[in-house]
A = this chain, B = another copy of it.
Amino acid sequence: MCTEPHPAARDAAERFLAANPGDPTTYPTISALEDEAVEALGEMTGLENPHGYIASGGTEANIQAVRAARNLAEVEAPNVVAPISAHFSFQKAADVLGVELRLAEVDSNRRADPDAVNELIDDDTVLVVGIAGTTEYGRVDPIPTLSEIAHDAGALLHVDAAWGGFVLPFTDYEWNFDHAAVDTMGIDPHKMGQAAVPAGGFLAREKRVLDALAVETPYLESTSQATLTGTRSGAGVASAWAAMDELWPAGYREQYERSQANAEWIADAFESCGYDVVDPVLPLVAADVPRKTVESLQSRGWRVSPTGSGELRIVCMPHVTRSMLESFAADLESL
């Protein structure tokens, strides 16, 4: 789910390789760019006054969402309820933060099932997770319903839009801060946003969420730090800013349309070879291709990674071109 950075993003990354947004007083320029990048992410996700920062990636955003919810709730044995389609970083968050992760079944369309989520919730639930563009099948959970369920239980709602966040603005899905009472969100410029790694995004509707993450920083001029890491990548921040400045919204819309068309094209190619395909509602295709065929493709140099259930999975990232897919489809047909 990484891609070649946009030339403007690459250029910005190279100019800020030595800057540390973790120390805003010493590096005011990169700090100002970070503020602008967060504003841009807010605009993209329907949040007028976003609180947040450019994180190392989706894993950090997920860990921070769980951490903030845990810190704000102050219950003895906190738990988090997420669909089984959630990224494995929630397992990491659970281990790191000492919270229990409860995984709810998904419906027949691979989206979070609100009833299944509801059944796992109890008084110790501090956070409910919805995914806007699942890692394996590109599914968008019913975010408005999940937000109601979460708030009825006194929990926060976190939306993991790490991969989907840069394509969803061009779809009809209800997934963002404006569509529902979302509390926090992860959205990664370094995935479909075409920034250089590491450039994730962590957003919160309310300032108290960031406050719940802050620790004091005695020897820096700034007095507290809400990020998970300390020193952070100026290159990542600058390239996130530059990519959004260049591409939002027209460039991202164009990229979405190209990626979505590619996904539908390769889905058709799988089907005409006789394989079952999970309908690509976002630019991500999973097809039920036997392991042996996958291995033959890999031995021809194709780098494909499987889903947990073993399907062959193609993410139509910006660097994935139609001619690349044509060449892949030709190899697939020949097997």
Spell out A's residues near B (CB within 8 Å).
1-5, 10, 13-14, 17-20, 23, 25-26, 56-60, 63, 67, 71, 87-89, 91-92, 95-98, 135-136, 188, 190, 196-198, 200, 215-221, 225, 228-236, 303, 305-308, 313
Contact = CB atoms under 8 A, between A and B. Distances in A.
Nearest to A17: B196
Given A10-B17, A96-B97, A308 B231 contact: no
Given A3-B18, A95-B215, A197-B235, 12 more contacts: A1-B231, A25-B305, A26-B303, A56-B232, A57-B231, A60-B229, A88-B225, A91-B216, A135-B219, A188-B231, A219-B305, A235-B235
B18 A96 contact: no
Given A59-B231, A89-B230, A229-B198, A5 B18 contact: yes
Nearest to A64: B96
A252 B287 CA distance: 52
Number of copies: 2
A220 B305 CA distance: 6
Contact of A88 (B1, B5, B216, B231): B216
A4 B18 contact: yes
Contact of A95 (B14, B71, B135): B71
A232 B303 contact: no
B305 A233 contact: no
Contacts of A196: 17-18, 235
Contacts of A218: 88, 307-308
A220 B89 CA distance: 12
B17 A215 contact: no
A95 B230 CA distance: 14
Nearest to A90: B215
A13 B17 contact: yes
A235 B305 CA distance: 23
Given A95-B71, A229-B57, A230-B58, A306 B219 contact: yes
B18 A197 contact: yes
B89 A197 contact: no
Nearest to A71: B95
Contacts of A19: 2, 197
A60 to B, nearest CB: 6
Contacts of A313: 219
Closest 8 CB pairs of A and B: A59-B230, A218-B308, A57-B231, A56-B229, A98-B98, A17-B196, A92-B215, A2-B20
